[in-house]
Amino acid sequence: MSHIISFLDSFSNELEGATELFAPSPYFRMVLQLIHGHLEAKTVTPTSLIGASHVPYATASRRLKAMVDAGLIEQRPRTTSGKSFSLHPSERLLEQWLQLSERIKRLAEREFGSKNSGQGDKDYFYGGSYLAARSIPPLRVLPAPLKLPGGVRVLVHGDPTFMVMENLKREFEHALGTQINQRAFSIDRLREEAKRNAERKVSRYDIIALDLPWVGEFASHGVLMPLDEVMDIARLDPSDFHTAGWKAAHWGGKPYGVPAQTTPELLFYRKDLFSQAGIEPPSTTDELLRAAATLHDPKRSRYGIAWNAARGTALGHTALMTMADFGQPVLNLPEIAGGFETDHLADRDYWPTIDTEAGLRAAEYLMDLLKYSPPDILSMSWYERIRPYAAGNVAMAYGYTLLAPYFELDATCAAHGQTGYLPHPAGPGATPVAPVGGYVMGIPSNLPPERLGAAIEALRVFTSPEAQKLYVQNGSRTNPRYSVGSDPELRRTSPIFEAIDAISWRDELQFWPRPPVPEISDIIQICGEEFHDMLRGIVTPRDALRQAQARAEALIRHNRTI
């Protein structure tokens, strides 16, 4: 849209300067200025809009009033007196302008061609099924600025998506009409800060982000308030969220957060290396091990696969997800079509299922992965596994989609433009799974009542389709909504979105591998410690499973007595 506005502005200048027969159109000129200011998050006033009209003041004033009366322009008070206004495009005007921009682009390409016309035409027709989808309009401003002393206070994780949100702070402040103060922590520190905040008499934050597995703990311990008791959930359009991401935000049938990121862990693989070696992308764990062996070449500083193997939280997540690859949840969840049932976790009728035959196969699989992993694999965690993959030192990597910008947006990376995306290859007798990860955003239970209404409105804006599109346009590769994944403009930015949609529709996007019970963080830590000792050769796989099972049982038994 910005490119189209720039083109139309320059084109209009050329027309008006070519001959006196072309008179300026005040409507057109003012709309250009208004949309441009909105996209640049700049304040537009009646004076600045009239000045951009290229017609006398009285004429421009009448045209401006006509656009306001027609519902194309919205006015937002800038002062408490209400005598000064900022001007903003209405949702109807934004949608009309978006459609116009797309038509102009297509006309220009048809009449004048494009520098990539051959490939572009191919993409256009190949993508016909999704190009018919509705394009999401730009983020729009609220009719009235939020009244929050000190601005909106947000606690988040320091990952690429939330850092994109920080970089876009100016745009969001413009939309909300108030300041945004964001604090970012590593995953373990984020959990501790959220728990400390719950112990305070008054919350320091209006909105907090939490990892999906923490929902049960935060809900049952009163860290978050149930959203259905303080807002109209229908305003969030729940059916637009990926099913697994939306269900994972619930505890006891109540929503405690809104998905801000839905980022499954997938298998990243180098398409070019697989093609050169003449092997197919793996769909089973046995095929993955064979591919890793084929592509493993330590003498050339290239290794078969990288994964989370650092002691504690990082390896604990890997342990639970690997058990899921072999069809084994970490708890005795009832089996249902397409996976395992998680709707009744709040009843607390569950027990660890770590020391099982499927658990043993998962542990032995991790031991086999060691043979084809980099020498520093036992210290690799979230980012460390992606860096060597991006650089070309690793042929495959298990990784969350939120980390894909490290190679998708860096043209100097060996993995740039050469990465394929798959769900986790499955063990014998199991089906492929893409364990869903990511973050939801919720409202602290100790938030003062006078801040609640504005906090809810800010939460809605941060998680809206318009905001999610803005994150993707600025580098994020996470997406909790179907509408965002089907936006034709975004779909062309990365193959991830088409892959995730396909995985979701096949019902492979699942959150049962890390069921959000209150004990899950401690169970993850336990597995991360016991499995690390196994990988170091201190204990056997069977002993690691037994010790993890015993510690997890003791933890749950203790929690039920307090």
- The CA distance from 303 to 311, in Å, is 21
Whether the Cβ atoms of residue 43 and residue 170 lie closer than 8 Å to each other: no
Question: Can you tell me whether residue 86 is helix, strand or coil?
Answer: strand
Q: Does 132 have pLDDT greater than 60? A: no
Task: State residue 391's pLDDT score.
Answer: 96
pLDDT recorded at residue 57: 86
Token duo for residue 385? 């596994």
Q: Round to whole Å and give the CA distance between 476 and 516.
A: 25
CA dihedral (336, 337, 339, 343) positive or negative: negative
Specify the range with the lowest mean pLDDT, choosing from 28-42, 159-173, 517-531: 28-42
SS3 assignment, position 32: helix
Evaluate if residue 20 carries a pLDDT over 70.
no
Question: Which pLDDT band, with edges at 50, 70 and 90, does 128 fall under?
Answer: very low
DSSP 224: B
Closest CA to 313 of 532, 163, 517, 160: 532
Beta pairing partners, 85: 77
Residue 73, strand partner residues: 89
Give pLDDT tens digits for 160-210: 889 998 899 999 999 999 999 999 999 889 999 999 999 999 999 999 999
How high is the mean pLDDT of the chain? 89
Per-residue pLDDT band for 227 (boundaries 50, 70, 90) equals very high
- Tell the residue number behind the tokens 């990511």, with chain if given: 438
- Domains of the chain: residue spans and CATH: 2-126 (1.10.10.10), 152-262+437-480 (3.40.190.10), 265-433+519-559 (3.40.190.10)
* For residues 274-287, average pLDDT: 97
For 381-517, list the strands marked E by DSSP: 394-400, 419-422, 434-435, 439-442, 509-510
How confident is the model over 393-408, as pLDDT tens digits? Answer: 999 999 999 999 999 9
pLDDT, tens only, 327-364: 999 999 999 877 899 989 999 899 999 999 999 999 99
> Residue 103 corresponds to which amino acid?
R
pLDDT above 70 (res 149): yes
* Residue 134 near residue 466 (C-beta atoms within 8 A): no
Q: What's 284's DSSP letter? A: B
* Residue-level pLDDT at 21: 66
Question: Which tokens in the block code for residue 231?
Answer: 């807002």
pLDDT of 309 > 80? The answer is yes
Q: Is the dihedral of CA 160, 166, 168, 172 positive or negative?
A: positive
Q: Are the C-beta atoms of residues 461 and 467 closer than 8 Å to each other?
A: yes
How much of the chain exceeds pLDDT 70, in percent?
94
- Beta-sheet strands, E only, within 379-514: 394-400, 419-422, 434-435, 439-442, 509-510
Q: Do 121 and 115 form a contact (C-beta atoms < 8 A)? A: no
User: Averaged over 40-64, what is the pLDDT?
Assistant: 83
How large is the greatest C-alpha to C-alpha distance in the chain, in angstroms? 89
Long-range contacts of 110-118 (CB under 8 A, 24+ apart): none
66-80, 341-355, 360-374: range with lowest mean pLDDT = 66-80
d(CA 86, CA 43): 6
Q: Where are the alpha helices (DSSP H) in 183-222?
A: 187-199, 215-220
Q: How confident is the model at residue 221 (pLDDT cuts 50, 70, 90)?
A: very high
H helices present in 221-266, as ranges: 243-248
Q: Which residues contact 436 (CB under 8 A, 6 or more apart)?
A: 212, 242, 244, 245, 248, 262, 263, 264, 509, 510, 511
**Closest by Cα among 280, 294, 368 to 325:** 368
Cα 338 from Cα 535, distance rounded (Å) = 31
What is the per-residue pLDDT across 236-263, written as a single tens digit (0 to 9) for each? 999 899 888 999 999 999 999 999 998 9
Provide, for the chain, the percentages of residues in helix, strand and coil under a 3-state DSSP scheme, each rounded to the nearest 5: 50, 15, 35
Q: What phi and psi values does residue 297 have, to the nearest 5 degrees?
A: -145, 75
How far is residue 504's CA from residue 107's CA, in Å, rounded to a whole number? 35
Return the pLDDT at 462: 96
- Non-local CB neighbours of 545 within 8 Å, separated by 6+ positions: 354, 355, 356, 359, 360, 363, 530
> Six-digit token pair at 477?
């590769």
Residue 298: CB atoms within 10 A of its CB come to: 11
What's the alpha-carbon Rg for the chain, to the nearest Å? 26
Write down how long the chain is: 562
Report helix angle 26-39 to 57-69, nearest 10. Answer: 70
Residue 354 makes CB contacts below 8 A (sequence gap 6+) with 323, 330, 527, 545, 548, 549, 552
Measure Cα distances from 490 to 101, 245, 266, 509 in Å. Answer: 15, 20, 20, 20
